[in-house]
Structure 1
């Protein structure tokens, strides 16, 4: 997915990975850095007396340390050794850009929802990073492992988006209870609306971007078949732009999967969510270009 870069990655990676040892070293360093950043923010929030936010960042740091352990175990099983920091040749995308960390520390408007939204974007950046490396890798083993890392990051995105959704409902339950119920539509209708919008966008593009957009439009049509009767969205969402519709569909699939108790239905929603998350990340990158 070589076009997936600009809005999620501030710059293209400095090169490609030449070996699994290098891949494991870089992945290990990225997860460690993220854990340190979240630990630092948790401590800062405690100092400021913002215990609810401190708890959010403490959970995020703990999750990143689990990812560190996972990479270490993967390296041990594949290469017979733990990742070597000396193998990291160039700087990976920042786990938390300095301007974002500064906003967390100084903003009076920071809430658990906004903190989790920031974490979602960080994981989306990691997904974009590994997708880019997979697309440009010359080594089949490195390519396969990079694709696996990208899938892992998609799983992290899904988990954080669920937590973000819960935080949103927690912050807005009262307002939602008082608001009148708007007409609702299902995910199938939104997928078809998105496909139509992507078709219009495709006419204005050329080259690889147009080809990728055509693929995503066809994917939306296919996803619509599987999304019949899924979700309940305000009809007004249908009149929003493609980014907003794509975002709503991600949340709808994740919410549905969280509530599902039937195995086949759960698997279908998880597959839809994974495809929708990857689509959203790419559309955000395209929007920035």
Structure 2
């Protein structure tokens, strides 16, 4: 499973308006363009091939910023305005990551494309969280659209990453990235245990809250996963509700990470699409569980 969690990109608060949403998206795109642009003009001759990747990435982000600005004008009759920001947008393209790549003599185009894929994965996670937390239907729909855009961008960047991998290792067109065993069987077990935790969590809640919590399990995409035979949870019967809530959230986090990892290592389009659907569902579920846990603790 991935060593770096992408799930730390949860927004600190819900986005209340379309103006705020476009201000966040525009700020993130401009920041990404600026940071990619710095690497597009730095380094010695040995960094030339890597630098060319960042020239492309900078242009992609500038184009995205322009598209966001035009969409904001069309919808709100104004350009994205930093004054509409209620909190500092999550940093999806950390400067320290880029500086590490720029400062390494072992940097390659593959490494640059792989980093760009990770950045758009962060965008997918971030906007999925925004959609899950949104109270306004229009904001939720716009955030879902931005999450889909991040997915499409990620797919395009994965193709570039794969081409760079083959070029650097002189692989044939039929070869791919290193093999990785699937963790879907583990995910199926975790889904089963998470369901038990959610049911246990719901037992002492008032009827309305219990219904909201159990609704998190409804219409689950995991119906398409192989479900293992029922197993006894190893946790002691003396667990408190707080223990159960914390365990449920840990399992929900692990499942989100597994599905993101499966998407990153997908070998074909159907596998990728299923993993991304599972990831989107898992991230939304995680956001819901965190919100309900915070409400229960008050």
Aligned partners of 1:248 and 1:66: how far apart in 2? 25
Q: TM-score, normalised by structure 1?
A: 0.68
Query: SS in structure 2 opposite 1:250?
Result: coil
RMSD across aligned positions (CA): 3.6
- Identify the match of residue 72 of structure 2 among 65, 71, 75: 75
Give the match for residue 246 of structure 1: 262
Aligned partners of 1:81 and 1:244: how far apart in 2? 36
1:35 aligns with 2:51: no
Give the match for residue 57 of structure 1: 54
Give the match for residue 197 of structure 1: 186
Query: SS in structure 1 opposite 2:16?
Result: coil
Give the match for residue 272 of structure 2: 273
Give the match for residue 222 of structure 2: 217
What are the ranges of 5 or more consecutive residues in structure 1 without an aligned counterpart?
1-5, 185-189, 222-241, 254-268
| 1:202 CA drift (Å) | 2.4
| 1:105 CA drift (Å) | 1.8
Relative contact order, higher structure (CA 8 A, sep 6+): 1
Q: Is the 8 A contact 1:25 1:85 kept in 2?
A: yes
Q: Is the 8 A contact 2:40 2:54 kept in 1?
A: yes
Q: Is the 8 A contact 1:249 1:276 kept in 2?
A: no
| 1:36 CA drift (Å) | 0.4
Q: Once the two structures are superposed, what CA deviation does each residue of 1:155-201 show, in whole Å capped at 9, x if it has no partner? A: 11111111111111111225x69x9xxxx9xxxxx9xx765432222
Give the match for residue 18 of structure 2: 20
Q: Is the 8 A contact 1:130 1:150 kept in 2?
A: yes
| 1:11 CA drift (Å) | 5.0
Q: TM-score, normalised by structure 2?
A: 0.67
Aligned partners of 1:245 and 1:144: how far apart in 2? 25
Answer with 1 or 2: which has the greater Rg. Answer: 2
| 1:281 CA drift (Å) | 7.2
Q: Once the two structures are superposed, what CA deviation does each residue of 1:226-274 show, in whole Å capped at 9, x if it has no partner? A: xxxxxxxxxxxxxxxx669824763422xxxxxxxxxxxxxxx5xx634
Aligned partners of 1:138 and 1:128: how far apart in 2? 18
Query: SS in structure 2 opposite 1:44?
Result: coil
Aligned residues: 232
1:134 aligns with 2:131: yes
Q: Is the 8 A contact 1:72 1:83 kept in 2?
A: yes
Aligned partners of 1:94 and 1:128: how far apart in 2? 12
Change (3 A) 1:122 1:55: same
What are the ranges of 5 or more consecutive residues in structure 2 without an aligned counterpart?
199-212, 227-257, 287-298
